Amino acid sequence: AGDATARIWSLDKATPSSIILPHSDNVINGDTSHSRDVTSLDWNHEGTHLATGSYDGRARIWTADGQLTKVLEHHEGPIFAIKWNRKGSYLLSGGVDKTAVVWDCQTGQVKQQFNFHSAPCLDLDWQGNTQFATCSQDRLIHVCRLGVDRPVKTFQGHTNEVNTLRWDPSGSLLASCSDDATAKIWSTKHERCVHDFREHSKEIYTIRFSRTGPFTNFPNARLQFATASFDSTVKLWDVDSGRCLHTLTEHKEAVYSVAFSPDASLLASGSFDNRLHLYSTRDAKIVHTYTGTSGVFEVCFNRDGTKVAASFSDNSVVVLDIRQLKHVLA
């Protein structure tokens, strides 16, 4: 958050409690405007450690009970994205200094720095344990591998900055979205995108694959893909054909976040119209709406799909227990 903290919330009791993770006031190059903002966070797969990235250029690793174990210093400016690899052995960060850094989580040392972009690195995502993708304001996407001093693949095709990218669960497809109002799906087997989604009319801020299909806990469920845009809509796509299956038009302002439930039966979306919508992916109908008092920045489900959380711009966090929403389960 902008108050220089991250928080770990316990929901076991009737009254939620939180552990506050304080971040430093230290400033890089005299910039005090947002020097304390915590910009990104990510749990490791086991849920034992949390990584945070900050505007002060530092990454930090915390235990689940709030103990700070590592402060990682190498970036020369704010960090915009941070991700654990699947094994939890490496941490990946990227930011305004145009670089991506892989950290050894045991030692806290830099494993390798990747200096391939010519503008700030906006997002990144691991394909496995040693290979990952990065995207940037320079409109390029690089696929990089530990131990290799140049990109193993570079994708070009966006005409404006690339905001977000995500690998599908199999690691064979990479999706990206951009301020050029398009989302694209790439394959490392091809030079050009395999799908070019152009049905949004404004910038696309976020995208998500469902965690379904081969190599997931739901191998018999089909893979789904969602895009969310500043045009106030969310779209669901068929990954095989590239066809738009549904356009969700209930939001009235820019949509900043979408998330699938673990089995992809539900899709959550959060917008600056103050609303969190829950949709059934079977028929694209709203099954529940929560209205807050400010815009929604982020939505996510817990691991077993029983709860969905939303963070709001008024510094509040709301958690809904889906088991208590009877019409959702009907």
pLDDT, one tens digit per residue, over 150-187 is 999 999 999 999 999 999 999 999 999 999 999 999 99
Tokens for 107, please give them.
């030692």
pLDDT score at 31:
45
Could you read off the pLDDT of 256-297 as tens digits, one per residue? 999 999 999 999 999 999 999 999 999 999 999 999 999 999
pLDDT score at 257:
98
Rg (CA), the chain: 19
Please give the Cα distance from 145 to 131 (Å, whole number). 4
pLDDT score at 303:
93
Amino acid symbol at 138: D
Q: Which residues contact 107 (CB under 8 A, 6 or more apart)?
A: none
Is pTM beyond 0.85? Reply is yes
Q: Do the beta carbons of residue 157 and residue 196 sit within 8 Å? A: yes
Tokens for 269, please give them.
């979306």
φ, ψ for residue 193 (rounded to 5)? -65, 150
Q: Which residues contact 150 (CB under 8 A, 6 or more apart)?
A: 116
Which segments in the chain show pLDDT lower than 70?
24-35, 326-330
Q: Which of 248, 306, 161 is nearest to 320 (CA)?
A: 306
Kindly list the strands in the beta sheet with 183-187, ordered across the sheet, starting from the edge strand earlier in the chain. Answer: 162-167, 173-178, 183-187, 195-197
> How many Cα atoms occupy the beta-carbon half-sphere of 227 within 13 Å?
34
pLDDT score at 28:
42
